[in-house]
Amino acid sequence: MTDHGLDLAVIGNGRTAALVDPTARLVWWCYPRFDRDPIFCRLLSGDEEKGFSDVVLDDMADFQSEYLRNTAVVSTVLTDRQGGAVRITDFAPRFRQFGRVFRPPQLIRMIEPVAGLPRITIRFRPTHDYGHAFTHRSLGSNHIRYTSTRAASSASPRMHRCPTSRARLRSSSPARCISCSASTSAFRTTSRPPAANSATARSIIGWIGLAVCPFLTTGRTKLSAPAITLKLSNFEETGGIIAAHTTSIPEAPGSGRTWDYRYCWLRDAYFVVKALNRIGATQTMEDFISFTLGIASNPNEPLRPVYSVVPIEPMDEKTAPRPQGLPWRRASAHRQCRRRAGAKRHLMAASFSRRCPCSTIGACRGSATKDCFGCSRASAARRENSPWRPIMAFGNIAGDSASTPTRPRCAGRGGHRLAAIAERLDLPDRAAHWNAVAEPVHQALLQGAWNDKRQAFTAAFGSEDLDASVLLLPDLGVIEADDPRFVSTVKAMERELLREKHVMRYASADDFGLPATAFLICRFWLVDAWWSLGRRDEARDLFVDALAYRNRYGLLSEDIDPQTGTLWGNFPQTYSMAGLILTAMRLSRSWEDRYWRG
């Protein structure tokens, strides 16, 4: 079995999502939603032949795989040495039906011969309880049902009298495979896969067609896949936005840096909302505001950096010992799969500041109300008089077990954001109050975070460690880009964090030792900083170079090995692709500038 690493495409519908490799092997699918048990877990199954579904072509000589233009539908063509070929089309149904969006937890696979008489083998090997193979299956006239004492799944291949988990046949007519629950009601609704495929494609094309695409070397065809993937990371039933679709993929070879990113990290969601807003897709922001206001409305619940996509559900971290390492990374020492994000135990007083930028945009668009503002104000007030540790870093640093009190730069900007909302809602007294609260924090930040010895803003007050997230200070409105202190900080980052054109998040040791891979989004932060400083040719060159590290589908993970260019970490990482979109928009020229002004 050939392994393709993270050269994967995402198919999804806003409720569930799967990853498919270039040979049409489904290697990851959590059912019935993003953060649930993976039915397909080939990414974490080691040498065991389980947790996947594929179509094996006898004597295969070539394969081609791509997204259908501006959709989340993946088309793969397998060709054998005799010229026979078969096309596999994979998607998760999503379309309007009966006046609402229909998005069942299903995957649909259409198999069609396109040349000759190709001979194929269809394999379906689901798992349950994080890597356990099903022990029982029952065969129906047109389906297979897999069961265990703890889970049930059903594959419904529409093939002539081939209800087995390993069906081999001559492909002379189309075949359909629907992976869904044991319930038949949803199956009947999508019992016509070609029609469902067309409706799903039209749904996504209609969404991306409204996006504002920049005029740059990166045009619509290169930004549509990241934008659609961000959309597919939005759990539409509640408005939550997950950070990635996978769990436990390490950040480096043999590393213990593994996390479960199938949850709503407010930090990551902020970047997603900002990126989608920039291309005109504002409905995700509206839904996310509702999601966060539901959290903020509970006065007895402390704020956290991470929530389930259904925020009232518990978030206790667990580990599953079954996975035997990542076959494509030979990280055999890694034998635990994280289930749920343990960072929920960290209280993050700055969480309200992640929501405030979104709320500010909403207020400017007329979607905010005084009641909504009251929820944001209440959540901020609960932290107003709380003690905070002076940490500059935007996110958590591994080993910083108490890395949750207010980041002063975020706390200060959160107060200013609330003041901006209050002004928009014609509440001058509240605007004055929050400006008065935020200004001392802002001044303390500028004074305490500056390190004269390093001639840079550092990761924490009194620290000499650099952190690339400090490059966000101008975007957050903390300091002007042309301020000599920021210019000096950028130079320090270049000297110490730049590795083969990649940017490390930080270079100091943490609980896992020295970091070996670079955060992909940090490169985009540096590009933005250079652009703001007028170093535009350098910024553009660094950005164009970054595009070469996307996989064949145009997607990115969390980390990259500076030496080999190999992608690492959970996939697809939303803030990496949000950074790509935001930077592309920053570097782009307007269409008017191109066609009307030369």
Q: What 3 state SS string does 79-122 have?
A: EECCCCEEEEEEECCCEEECCEEECCCCEEEEEEEEECCCEEEE
pLDDT band at 237; cut points 50, 70, 90? very high
Residue 596 has pLDDT above 70, yes or no: no
In this prediction, residue 299 carries a pLDDT of 78
In this prediction, residue 196 carries a pLDDT of 82
Q: Which CATH architecture has domain 210-312+336-596?
A: Alpha/alpha barrel (1.50)
Higher pLDDT, 2 or 78: 78
- Phi first, then psi, for residue 47 (nearest 5°) are -90, 0
Helix (H) or strand (E) holding 382: helix 370-384
Please calculate the CA angle 204-358-519 and round it to the nearest 5 degrees: 75
**Tens of pLDDT along 98-150?**
888 889 999 999 999 999 989 999 999 998 888 888 888 888 777 788 887 66
**Averaged over 200-218, what is the pLDDT?**
68
Residue 238 has pLDDT above 90, yes or no: yes
**Averaged over 401-423, what is the pLDDT?**
61
Collect all residues with Cβ–Cβ distance below 8 Å to 49 and sequence separation of at least 6: 1, 125
Are 180 and 152 a contacting pair, CB within 8 Å? no
In this prediction, residue 375 carries a pLDDT of 56
In this prediction, residue 389 carries a pLDDT of 46
In this prediction, residue 368 carries a pLDDT of 52
Query: Range with the lowest mean pLDDT among 99-113, 153-167, 183-197, 498-512?
Result: 153-167
In this prediction, residue 153 carries a pLDDT of 55
Residue 158 has pLDDT above 50, yes or no: no
Higher pLDDT, 423 or 23: 23
In this prediction, residue 381 carries a pLDDT of 54
Are 461 and 451 a contacting pair, CB within 8 Å? no
Query: Range with the lowest mean pLDDT among 300-309, 396-405, 433-442, 475-484?
Result: 396-405
**All structural domains of the chain with their residue ranges:** 9-206, 210-312+336-596
**Tens of pLDDT along 448-495?**
889 999 999 998 888 889 999 999 999 888 899 999 999 999 999 999
Q: Exposure pattern of 339-362 as b/e (b: 16+ CB <10 Å)?
A: bbbbbbebbbbbbbbbbbbbbbbb
**Averaged over 314-339, what is the pLDDT?**
53
Residue % of the chain over a pLDDT of 90: 40
In this prediction, residue 239 carries a pLDDT of 95
**Averaged over 148-177, what is the pLDDT?**
55
**Averaged over 172-189, what is the pLDDT?**
64
In this prediction, residue 143 carries a pLDDT of 79
Are 267 and 348 a contacting pair, CB within 8 Å? no
pTM, two decimals, is 0.86
Higher pLDDT, 187 or 468: 468
In this prediction, residue 413 carries a pLDDT of 65
| Dihedral, 380, 385, 390, 396 alpha carbons, nearest 10 | -40
Read off the tokens for 287.
């839904």
Question: Nearest Cα to 280, choosing from 213, 200, 366?
Answer: 213
To the nearest whole number, what is the mean pLDDT of the chain? 79
Residue 363 has pLDDT above 70, yes or no: no
In this prediction, residue 412 carries a pLDDT of 60
In this prediction, residue 545 carries a pLDDT of 94
In this prediction, residue 514 carries a pLDDT of 85
Please tell me the distance from the alpha carbon of residue 177 to that of residue 364, in angstroms, as a whole number: 47
Domain 9-206 sits in CATH at 2.70.98
Name residue 122's beta-bridge partners.
Answer: 55, 167
For the CA atoms of the chain, what is the radius of gyration?
A: 24
**Averaged over 510-536, what is the pLDDT?**
92
Residue % of the chain over a pLDDT of 70: 74
Residue 588 has pLDDT above 90, yes or no: no
pLDDT band at 210; cut points 50, 70, 90? low
**Tens of pLDDT along 247-293?**
989 888 877 788 899 999 988 899 999 999 988 888 898 999 899 88
Q: Classify 21 as helix, strand or coil.
A: coil
